[in-house]
Amino acid sequence: PHDLECLTIEQLEKIAADRMDKQTRDYYNEGADSGSTLAENRSAYQKYRIRPRVLRDVSKIDTSVDIFGFKNTIPMGVAPTAMQKLAHQDGELATARACREAGIVMGLSSFSTTSLEDVKGVLGAEQPGVLQLYLFEDREESRGLIARAKKAGFSAVALTVDTPMLGRRNLEMKNQFRLPRHLKSANFDRGGKEDGVVAEEKGDEASKRTRDRGDSRAGYHDGARWVSPTGRITFHSHGPNPTLNWERDIDWLKQQCHPEMEVWVKGIATGEDAILACHHGVDGIIVSNHGGRQLNGALATLDALPEVVDAVRSMNRKMPVHVDGGIRHGTDVFKALALGADFVWIGRPVLWGLAYKGQEGVRLCLKLLSDEFRLCMGLAGVTRVDEIGKEYLAKINRDGF
Ligand code: FNR
């Protein structure tokens, strides 16, 4: 049965906007600076039209693809987005349940409000999970997180590489956005607030540590010198890390993860970096600009995709190329695949689903996009995902011709 209140992702976006408090809505929906890259991630899809083929017997359509050895029902996954309990009290657990039901891979942010163990517990052994990683300068913390992900059975880590510094998000600054006190970054803040209070009453060594860790300070540039962050680990203090580089960090990460978990990089936006990713032996790349939240003025991801695909092909290596950003229709999924992506990820629509109705809302979001994608395949005359290629697209110019 259809949810007659909500038949498109655009409607879901509107309904969700009314259900979120201002601080959450601003945090989820905004892009960096003027928001032009955020907008172009979406509008880039309008530059392409589909060239449908007919009389091809589309009575049987298989929308599934293989990812991490799992038969994903559609070439689409849920992108990692931080702090999902802001949208709904069940947060990441609701998302995981909906992914499990739909047979769709889930990305989990390092800065989730539910622990990675609890999320993987819901996904179960079959359903793949990808842990998004912000690599901290404090390697012990990152090493620990990776070991936990491995133990919990995640299939891959995706290192986010577009965040050497934090993008300028004006509303986030204006609202002085931070995680409300009743929520925590569950992968790091494992003690819980009560533990801290008890320890402080005891006045022991543990209480001193708790207090010391309570005050987090972001890293900053002191002249030419970078001063590392300290204190409690939060997204704003520890997420950005300007020291990351190919030589040191990718090799280190592969050593930590292989062979149990694959190493992906998320945030590639050029052919040059795609070639470096091949050289450094990563297992896959995600073309992303962080949903327009980092470098405003960067290319829309759909516009960056062809050069990345060409670069990877030129290397004669079968490295998968995924893309995210601005995908709001089943036809967008089709267009991204036609331009050479193997798979797409969706970010904000899932958060809107969560804000609308928790697990039920995420289910609706995934179902809308899955139904639309299947319909698009049928109407375009395609019955298998690997048949979707460039010949199904035409690019139009600005005047619409
Ligand atoms: C994100 N994204 C993100 N990416 C990441 O690597 N780690 C993170 O913790 C987060 N957190 C996050 C929070 C919120 C509120 C948003 C909207 C996005 C980026 C995300 O993974 C993805 O790249 C984009 O969301 C994709 O664009 P769309 O689908 O939102 O347009």
Digit-coded pLDDT (tens) for 186-206: 999 865 443 333 333 344 454
For residue range 328-369, list pLDDT tens digits in order: 999 999 999 999 999 999 999 999 999 999 999 999 999 999
- Predicted pLDDT of residue 317: 84
Catalytic residue at 329? no
- Predicted pLDDT of residue 1: 80
- Predicted pLDDT of residue 212: 45
Q: Which residue has the tokens 């928001």?
A: 35
Note the pTM of the prediction, 2 decimals. Answer: 0.94
The residue from 2, 88, 221, 290 that is catalytic is 290
CA of 369 to the centre of ligand 1 (A): 18
Select from 290, 323, 346, 369 the residue to mutate for testing ligand 1; criterion: most ligand atoms less than 8 Å from CB.
Answer: 290
324 is in an annotated binding site: yes
CA of 256 to the centre of ligand 1 (A): 24
- Predicted pLDDT of residue 203: 46
CA of 103 to the centre of ligand 1 (A): 21
List the chain residues with pLDDT less than 70.
Answer: 190-215, 398-401
Query: Who contacts 27 (Cβ-Cβ below 8 Å, separation ≥6)?
Result: 83, 86, 171, 172, 175, 177
